[in-house]
Structures are given as C-alpha cells and as structure tokens.
Chain A
Amino acid sequence: MIEYIFRRLLITIPTLLAIVTLVFLIIHMSPGDPAVVILGDYASKEAVDALREKMGLNDPLYVQYFRFLSNLIHGDLGRSCITGMPVANRIASALPFTLELTLTAIVMGAFLGVPLGILSAVQRNSFFDYLIRTLSLGGISMPSFYLGILLMLVFGVTLALLPVVGAGDIHDLRDNVSHLILPALALGLRQAAYITRMARSSMLNVIGEEYITTAKAKGLSDTKVILIHALRNALIPIISIIGLYSVVLIGSGVMIEIVFSRPGLGKMLLGAMHQRDYTALQSLMLLYGLFVLIINLAVDFAYSIIDPRVKYN
C-alpha cells in the first residue's frame, strides 16, 4: 500500500512539470507585453524597455523558463503586475473561500448522489426511479451559475432568508456558513445529479452479475446483498466519476464565486484575466492544475482502498 502510494506520487512529478511548462508557454505566447500592462499604454518606449530589462523579459525564453522554475521551487510566485504585491499572499487569503465551497459541494454531491442513484437502481422503473432520473437529467442540464442566480432570487431576494453577496467573516462560523449555503447548493446539486446518474447505471450493472444472484440464492436479505455485495463493486466506477466531475465542479466554482461575489480564487482568476496580470494568472493556472492532480491522486488512492487488486498492478 505504502509502496503503491509512493510510486503513484512519483509519477505525478513529470505531469506537474509538464503543466508548469504548458502554462509558462501559453503565457509567453500571449500577445500583450507585461511591461506595457504595468506602465500603461502611454509610457515611453525607453521606460518600457528599461522595465523589460529589469523584469528579465529580454532574456532568451529558456533562461526565463529556468528562472521561473527555480522561483517556483523556492515557493516564490512573483509579484502581481498590477498591484506589486506578492501573488502568494493574495492566493493564501483567497484559497480558504474556494476550498470551503469546493469541498462542501463535492461532499454534498457524493452524499446525495450515491444513495439516490442506488435507491433509483434498486427500485428500477418505479415512480421514484422515474422522478430521480428526470430530476438528474434536469440537474446535469442546468448551468450552475443559472441555478445560483435562481437560488439567489428565491432565497435571497424574495424570501430574504440568506445572504447572497460575499463569503461572510471566515472567523464567524454562523456568518460564514450562512453565506456558504446557496453557492454550495448551486454547485453541489449539479454534482449530485451527475453522480446519481452514474451510481444508478453502475449499480444496475452490478445487480445483473452472477455473484449477486449467488448471494441472493444463499438466502441473504436484499439489504445485505445491496450493501455488502453490490455496493463495493459498484463504488469503483462511482468514485472515478466523482473524481471526474469534481474537476468539472472546480471550473463551475469560478462561475459561482463570480455570481455570489465570493472573494475566492475564481474571482481572483477573472480579475487577473481582465487586468492582464500575467504573474497572478500564471500562478492561478498552476494552482488549478495542481487541484486536478490532487483529485486524480485521491481517486487512485480510493481505488486502492476499495479494490485490493489495484495495488498489485
């Protein structure tokens, strides 16, 4: 197990390096000039040239690349082109808001989606199954930012039950949670819809297997067959789908942060894009790439726990 985890971590390094390289190249392919961004459109050519020299933008690409890598390894994400503040500090203050939203939505999606999908599969073709299937089809077709706006309209504007702007005070639990409910629902319900669909079809797949018939023939109760024999086998594709859609969820999270004006990474990302803040953009893209790597790792580790065959590969 430990060896498997170690080996899996080791093969993450080249992927990480490739992500760093890709982000670096795209940023350097972009048509704007960071020196012009900092000094403004009316800066003299001399001033722009001097700043380019100072920022090292006149060095050959590979020199810039290795400097960028070396800075990254030392934990230096650089300073914002716009504010001059260290990017790492901005990220550190935005990260908790994004993490609490993302994790709540992922957990909500799994805890709603897996049981609903399994119940729907077990009661196949019943009214409940039909209802769940219709709802989940609707759920995956609903843009989460639109769902967010509708929730905002109903619970924030019309009923005035919950706050709809910002993330509240992170040190005040009550305030923080009340700001989290609507955005987490907007993200989590869509996630639940995806997982329900997958859990249902994966469960149906397993129920048809011969070992389930054997378990039933042994005289085990339906509940035992479902919970002990079917669920464990159905979980493998379900976990991979939770991972896959958690990646999609991270993208939708950006939209939700914008809709609810939450001061998270998504808001920072969009700001960096609009202001052409290259250093911030670069670091944020790396961070989002890193999130996906972590999710993929977590999925693989979960496999190795649920399916003992995995670690022998």
Chain B
Amino acid sequence: MRNRTAAVGAVLVIVLVLVSFIAPLLSPYSPAQQDLGNRLYPPNSKHLFGTDSLGRDILSRVIYGSRISLAVGFFSVLVASVIGVAFGLIAGYAGGITDLVLMRVVDVLMSFPVLIMGLFVMSVFGPGTINLIVALAVSMSPRFARISYGPTLAIKEQDFILAAKASGAGPVRVIVYHLLPNILGEILVMGSLWIGTAILIEASLSFLGLGVTPPTPTWGNIIREGLNHLRTAPWIVIFSGGAIFLAVISFNMMGDGIRDIADPKLSSLSS
C-alpha cells in the first residue's frame, strides 16, 4: 500500500517535471497573451481554466507557472543541502570551538520559521528568482546542517575513519570520501521531503509579492492577482492553488515512500 502511494507520487512528480519542460507545446496560448474582449471568462471549451482580468488563459499560466515552482523548489533545496551539509560535516568532524561556533549559528538561524526567515531575506535583497533561491536556501540550510551533524559525530569515531586518517588522508579527503557517502542517504530522503515545502514557501512569498514578480507567471502570483476577483472569478485562485496542492502532495507522497525504503523500521510502522 505504501509503495503504491510512493509510486503514484513519483509518477506525478515525473509528469510535473515533463509538463514544465514541454510547457510551450502543452499550453493552448502564450501565458502573457492578453484578450481584453474575454476578461474574467469562466472555464469553457476554449479556456479550460477560464481567463483572468487581462483575458489571459489561466491554464497556460498554470502550466508555465510549474517552471518557476519546480526550479525554485529543486535548486533551493540543492543549495540548502550543499551549504547545510558542509556546515554539519565540518562542525561534527572538527569538534571543539569550530563545532561550538558553527552549531550555535545553526541554532540561531533555526530560531525563525522558514517562511519568516525567507520573508526577511527577500525584503532585504529584493524580489527576483535568484534572490528567492538564495532566501529559501538560507532559511532551509540549518535544517540540513542539523541532520548531517548527528551522524557525523557517530561515524567519525568508527574504525574506518581512523584507518583513513592513519593512511595519511587529510581532513578534506576524510570528509568528502569517507564521511559524506555515509550520510548521503539521509540527506537525499530529507531533500525529497523538503522540495514540497520549498514549493509551498515559494508560492507563499510570490503570493505576498516578495517572490517572483509579474509578468512571469508563478502559482503564487496568479493567486495574488486572482484574490482581487475572488467573488467574480474564483476559478483563477482555485486552479492555481490546486496546482500547488498537487505539486506538494506529489513530492510528499514520493518523499514518504523514499523515507520508508531508506528506513525499513518506519516502513513497517506506517503501512
């Protein structure tokens, strides 16, 4: 039953990625094409998801919106894991004062909800896709530092690390070739679970007008624009929000599945 959920999640994720790659082929219209004669048009055979206040096709905008969401979700988790894991590995391996300082910084960064930290960084550096990836990466990286720190402490005491050191491996070599491969599994599990969260936060920031700004369509900023027409044209919000829900649930289903495979004890419990 669990594996089926995971499989459905994985298939949905693949479909989403495909959709974002072939967006120009799938969208019936250009996402920016205005048709002022057909403003706030309810869903119909020409516009399956209806149109917005400028007569733009919502279906096309939602399809194109997947590009930003997936790109920001994937790259922010990638950057966050690289920075966070580096922090966790170095702190855990070096110990002493390095450990103390690095992990205190991590604790302080974790004293803010990810969304609020993201908001704060965005408001300091301004909107834009790259800034958004940086903001999300900064907010999420402490979580990756924490998850890699614990196992590093345990693994560094094991004999094979001692053997590597005895055969003349320097700290960089020990960390990259001996410690990292042993915690990579956990990082991958966590990464797949965090992509969903990153997509959610990207949508939230864009909804607040601090993420990716119009005219580039993102699910968050389509909702932002649609909220003004909630009474007259609820379909704008319903379809773009539905897309966020679908993307996040796909990643969560896949992440749950990967976690169960990686940790059979949990798997037997949750199935």
Contacts and interface: CB of A to CB of B under 8 A. Distances in A.
Contacts of A31: 124-126
Nearest to A205: B269
B108 interface: yes
Contacts of B231: 157
18 contacts: A15-B111, A26-B124, A30-B125, A137-B256, A140-B252, A143-B248, A145-B223, A152-B230, A153-B230, A157-B230, A200-B270, A201-B266, A201-B270, A251-B116, A269-B119, A270-B208, A285-B116, A289-B111
B53 to A, nearest CB: 17
A150 B196 CA distance: 20
Interface string A278-301: 000100010011001100000000
Contacts of B120: 26, 273, 281, 285
Interface in B200-252: 200, 203-204, 207-210, 223, 227, 230-231, 234, 237-238, 241, 244-245, 248-249, 252
Which 3 residue pairs spanning A and B have beta carbons closest together? A251-B113, A251-B115, A273-B123
B207 A145 contact: yes
A292 B114 CA distance: 12
Interface residues of B, number: 45
A71 interface: no
A248 B194 CA distance: 13
B108 A141 contact: no
Given A149-B237, A248-B114, A204 B252 contact: no
A254 B116 contact: yes
B114 A204 contact: no
A273 B114 CA distance: 16
A150 B241 contact: yes
Nearest to A18: B108
Given A137-B249, A141-B252, A201-B270, 17 more contacts: A15-B111, A22-B109, A26-B121, A31-B125, A31-B126, A138-B245, A142-B248, A143-B241, A145-B223, A146-B244, A146-B245, A152-B230, A153-B230, A153-B237, A270-B208, A281-B123, A292-B113
Interface in B149-175: none
A288 B244 contact: no
A254 B122 CA distance: 15
B107 interface: yes
Interface core residue of B113, B231, B256 (most chain A CB under 10 Å):
B113
Contacts of B234: 153, 157
B112 interface: yes
Task: Name B's interface SS.
Answer: helix
B253 interface: yes
B104 interface: yes
Contact of A146 (B116, B208, B223, B253): B223
B227 A137 contact: no
A288 to B, nearest CB: 5
Contacts of B119: 254, 269-270, 273
A258 interface: yes
Interface string A6-43: 00000000110011001000110111000000000000
Contact of B223 (A149, A252, A269): A149
A150 B230 CA distance: 10
Nearest to A247: B113
Interface string A135-167: 001101111011001101100010000000000
A250 interface: yes
B70 to A, nearest CB: 15
Interface in A200-229: 200-201, 204-205, 208
Contacts of B245: 138, 141-143, 146
Contacts of B196: 141
A289 B112 CA distance: 6
A292 B253 CA distance: 29
A234 interface: no
A156 B225 CA distance: 19
A30 B249 contact: no
A230 interface: no
A276 B126 CA distance: 11
